[in-house]
């Protein structure tokens, strides 16, 4: 399976450039309350290395760039309220032993940091008892976004990292600022950056789980 194989941006961009579409294009009738859930076409191929991603439009960008066989629960412009009402509930039946639950939330509502910490800690304890591992991916940096600043994001990330219990923290923010990044509109990343984030997440899954996705 793909879990231990890092994708290379040049190859993936060539293969999938003609396939990428927004959630609005592919699901024009979906509502924010319903959420967007993507599961693999052949779920029976899962053994003990299931990945579940929960996030917003940036997560949609990663999903569309990599086209892998993970479960993706993500929707544009969403935040804490959607995650609690829809994003998490619609994937909980898929969580089992050796599942990695990967959360990429917060850029749309950094002011909800305390709620995020409390809720994710509660769910992480439940999922740990089921044999799953919970990961929180730090909010990535922006470029002149009118709704949130990098200073606000850094404060959010610091509070998340220090407040989360029983959750593996993946510092994408520092990785991108050190490596360099670009955006298409100030907040959303182009495919090559989305793929870089995806690869970095996989690398950290391997490190923190002794390579069960290797």
pTM (whole model) above 0.85 = no
Residue range 107-162, pLDDT digits in tens: 999 999 999 999 999 999 999 999 999 999 999 999 989 999 999 999 999 999 99
Q: How far apart are CA 134 and CA 107, in angstroms?
A: 19
Range of the domain at 163: 34-206
Whether residue 22 is contained in a domain is answered as no
Whether residue 170 is contained in a domain is answered as yes
Whether residue 105 is contained in a domain is answered as yes
CB atoms within 10 A of CB 135: 23
Q: Which residues lie below 8 Å from residue 139, measured CB to CB, with a gap of 6+? A: 104, 106, 107, 110, 153, 156, 157, 172, 173
Q: Residue 164 maps to which CATH number? A: 3.40.50.1110
Q: Are 69 and 36 in contact (CB under 8 A)?
A: no
Count of domains observed in the chain: 1
Residue range 72-104, pLDDT digits in tens: 999 999 999 999 999 999 999 999 999 999 999
Whether residue 144 is contained in a domain is answered as yes
Whether residue 14 is contained in a domain is answered as no
DSSP state string for 17-63: TTT---HHHH-TT--TTT--EE--S-GGG-SS-EEEEEESHHHHHHH
Residue 85: Cβ-neighbour burial (10 angstroms; 0-12, 13-18, 19+): middle
Whether residue 53 is contained in a domain is answered as yes
Local confidence band at 30 (pLDDT 50, 70, 90 cut-offs): very low
Residue scoring higher pLDDT (28 or 160): 160
Closest by CA to 212, choosing from 138, 147, 132, is 132
* Residue 45: pLDDT over 80: no
Whether residue 174 is contained in a domain is answered as yes
Whether residue 185 is contained in a domain is answered as yes
The pLDDT mean for the chain works out to 82
């Amino acid at each position: 399976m793909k879990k231990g194989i890092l994708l290379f941006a040049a190859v993936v961009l060539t293969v999938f450039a003609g396939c990428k579409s927004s959630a609005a294009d592919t699901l024009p009738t979906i509502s924010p309350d319903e959420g967007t859930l993507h599961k693999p076409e052949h779920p029976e191929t899962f053994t003990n290395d299931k990945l579940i991603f929960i996030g917003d439009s940036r997560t949609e960008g990663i999903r569309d760039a990599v086209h892998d066989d993970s479960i993706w629960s993500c929707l544009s412009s969403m935040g804490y309220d959607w995650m609690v009402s829809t994003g998490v509930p619609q994937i909980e039946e898929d969580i089992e032993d050796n599942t990695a639950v990967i959360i990429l939330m917060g850029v749309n509502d950094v002011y909800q940091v305390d709620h995020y910490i409390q809720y994710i800690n509660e769910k992480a304890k439940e999922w740990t008892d089921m044999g799953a591992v919970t990961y929180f991916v730090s909010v990535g940096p922006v470029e002149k976004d009118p709704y949130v600043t990098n200073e606000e994001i850094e404060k959010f990330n610091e509070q998340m990292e220090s407040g989360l219990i029983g959750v593996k923290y993946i510092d994408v923010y520092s990785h991108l600022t050190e490596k360099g990044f670009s955006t298409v509109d100030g907040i959303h990343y182009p495919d090559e950056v989305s793929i870089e984030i995806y690869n970095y997440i996989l690398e950290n899954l391997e490190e923190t789980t002794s390579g069960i996705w290797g």
